[in-house]
Chains A and B, each alone.
Chain A
Amino acid sequence: MNNFGKLAAFVILLYVLQTSFFSLIAYHGISPDFMLLLTVSFAFLRGMEQGTLMGFSTGLLTDLATGTFFGIHAFTYLLMGNLCGRFANRIYKDQFFLPVFASLGVTALNYFILALLMVLLGYRFNPISNVQATLLPMLIYQLAFAYPVHYWTYKLDKNISSNETN
């Protein structure tokens, strides 16, 4: 399997697990967002360009597959991939601490951009109760799953890099 095939299979596997398996442990309909975690990890490992592309791809997949507001995830994940990719050459790839904890900040930033888009689309909500009901459980899930997702992305990245050098 070539590198693109491996990446596509990994993205689909994570997406299917997120929507069909981890929804079992969903709290009030909220479950971990593997697509965002993958975008963050991939961007930290591969840089700005590939991180942006990964963010756009995973976001578009989410928008197309679930029928949510079309384009919102493609938009926010692209921004998150771009942002995290800017730090790729400043951290060691073997260092897991920053990508794992950065995923918390990225989840919160992603949430606030989405909230702003919702307001611009005309939806009104109470920011405090919405943060309590949706952002806090989401952050806990992201913290719990950031390490395993980053670990597998790191393994995949190593595999891809070795194929590229050969």
Chain B
Amino acid sequence: MSNHVRKDKEDGRKGWAMAFVVVSLFCIIFFAARGRFQAPVSSQSVSLVLSPFQQGVSWISDELRHVTEAVWEMATLYEQNKMLRNEVEQLRGINLQANEALAENERLRNMIGYKQSAHQFDMVAARVIGRESDTWSRMIVIDRGTMSGIANDMPVVTPQGLVGRVVEAGLNSSKVQLILDPRSSVGTIVQRAQSRVTGIVQGDMDNPTMPQMVNIPKNADVVEGDVIVTSGFGGVYPKGIIVGLVSSLKNDAGGLLKIGVLEAAVDFQKLEDVLVITASREAPPEPIKPPQQTPGTETDPVTGEKIDDKKAEGQQ
């Protein structure tokens, strides 16, 4: 009898403990999603333990992939050669036209005195050593961390375009949130000179491989095939990095805005090596100078009031 009572008591205690853990976890999920709860130390220590193993296994899988790719390339060499010859012929023609356009562009730039802003980035190359298999978020792990100068919020790119940003830099590995993640938002702009419509690119839960450009006004000049680049607004991503192409357009549920479904510039399925932008030195905008004024008619640039002769002399 007493054993039975003790067992019931124990079961009850376990049930309460389970309920407490479940409720606590439920609360933690919501606090963490709103940024009010973080577990950075434990997260970094887990990454520190796992990253050597991930690097090893990733190296093996890369080697395997290279071998299979080499075998496949050898099998398709003849067809590839034929296609490449055709492409060379076409590109030769395009190259001639491009040279002509380049010369014309240079001439026109000189004519209007336009100085191209120099985008210079300091980059650190990194290898992808881990990928999340989760269905709700898109993250990767790279083999560089704070020891290589990586810090949180640094943009991650490939020569093809934007990959994402570093959300958690560990000692020897970092977690990168891809632009496909629903939590990610990138300030973007249409590259076409006649359009220059701005919008925000976010990950789409319905289509994990194609991000969306949202907040586009319904009458905005955005068409299929438009190239979308980063706008530089927000301060995380430098301006001008290619995000993707507009694949299709659809109406927003509200009816006032439209959504552009993008084909990402980067093939996230084959992401092996990435570049982390550790510093960007864009040419700073020149300070605004008041225009040259005709002597005797000077006005204060702030108030617009006329300045008398003595004051003007003093200013000069």
Verify A31–B25 contact, CB threshold 8 A.
Answer: no
Indicate which residue in A20, A70, A117, A118 contacts B54 across the interface (CB closer than 8 Å): A20
Verify B22–A75 contact, CB threshold 8 A.
Answer: yes
Task: Kindly list chain B residues whose C-beta atoms are within 8 Å of the C-beta of A123.
Answer: 182, 205
Task: Kindly list chain A residues whose C-beta atoms are within 8 Å of the C-beta of B22.
Answer: 75, 78-79
Knowing A30-B133, A31-B131, the reply to whether A65 touches B47 (Cβ < 8 A) is yes
Task: Kindly list chain B residues whose C-beta atoms are within 8 Å of the C-beta of A19.
Answer: 54, 130-133, 141
State the Cβ distance, B151 to closest chain A Cβ, in Å: 15
Indicate which residue in B54, B136, B206 contacts A69 across the interface (CB closer than 8 Å): B136
Q: Does B296 contact A (CB under 8 A)?
A: no
Q: What is the CA–CA distance of A87 and B300 in the complex, to the nearest angstrom?
A: 85
Verify B208–A31 contact, CB threshold 8 A.
Answer: no
Q: Does A1 contact B (CB under 8 A)?
A: no
Q: Does A67 contact B (CB under 8 A)?
A: yes
Knowing A16-B57, A19-B130, A20-B54, the reply to whether A70 touches B37 (Cβ < 8 A) is yes
Task: Kindly list chain B residues whose C-beta atoms are within 8 Å of the C-beta of A23.
Answer: 61, 130-131, 133
Task: Kindly list chain B residues whose C-beta atoms are within 8 Å of the C-beta of A30.
Answer: 133, 135, 208
**Interface-facing stretch out of A97-105, A131-139, A146-154, A156-164:** A131-139
Verify B53–A28 contact, CB threshold 8 A.
Answer: no
> What number of residue pairs across chains A and B have CB atoms under 8 A from each other?
152
Task: Kindly list chain A residues whose C-beta atoms are within 8 Å of the C-beta of B26.
Answer: 75
Q: Does A140 contact B (CB under 8 A)?
A: no
Least CB separation from A125: chain B residue:
B205
How many chain B residues touch A (Cβ–Cβ < 8 Å)? 54
State the Cβ distance, A156 to closest chain B Cβ, in Å: 18
In the complex, chain B residues 1-48 whose Cβ is within 8 Å of any chain A Cβ: 14, 18, 21-22, 25-26, 28-30, 32-33, 37-39, 42-43, 46-47
Knowing A129-B207, A134-B208, the reply to whether A69 touches B29 (Cβ < 8 A) is yes
Q: Does A10 contact B (CB under 8 A)?
A: no
Knowing A15-B50, A26-B269, the reply to whether A68 touches B18 (Cβ < 8 A) is no
Q: Does B60 contact A (CB under 8 A)?
A: yes
Verify A24–B50 contact, CB threshold 8 A.
Answer: no
Q: What is the CA–CA distance of A56 and B174 in the complex, to the nearest angstrom?
A: 24
Task: Kindly list chain A residues whose C-beta atoms are within 8 Å of the C-beta of B177.
Answer: 67
Task: Kindly list chain A residues whose C-beta atoms are within 8 Å of the C-beta of B268.
Answer: 29
Contact with B along A105-146 (1 / 0, CB 8 A): 000000100100110110111100110011100100000000
State the Cβ distance, B218 to closest chain A Cβ, in Å: 20
Contact with A along B123-134 (1 / 0, CB 8 A): 000000111111
Verify B137–A61 contact, CB threshold 8 A.
Answer: no
State the Cβ distance, B121 to closest chain A Cβ, in Å: 24
Knowing A64-B42, A65-B46, the reply to whether A125 touches B53 (Cβ < 8 A) is no
Contact with A along B46-67 (1 / 0, CB 8 A): 1101100110011011001100
Task: Kindly list chain A residues whose C-beta atoms are within 8 Å of the C-beta of B200.
Answer: none
Q: What is the CA–CA distance of A20 and B268 in the complex, to the nearest angstrom?
A: 14
| Interface residues in chain B, defined as those with a beta carbon under 8 Å from any beta carbon in chain A | 14, 18, 21-22, 25-26, 28-30, 32-33, 37-39, 42-43, 46-47, 49-50, 53-54, 57-58, 60-61, 64-65, 129-139, 141, 167-168, 175, 177, 180, 182, 204-209, 268-269
Known pairs A19-B54, A52-B18, A67-B137; list 10 more (Cβ under 8 Å).
A16-B57, A21-B58, A64-B43, A65-B43, A68-B137, A68-B139, A69-B136, A71-B25, A71-B28, A78-B22
| Interface residues in chain A, defined as those with a beta carbon under 8 Å from any beta carbon in chain B | 12-13, 15-24, 26, 28-33, 49, 52, 56, 61-62, 64-75, 78-79, 82, 111, 114, 117-118, 120-121, 123-126, 129-130, 133-135, 138
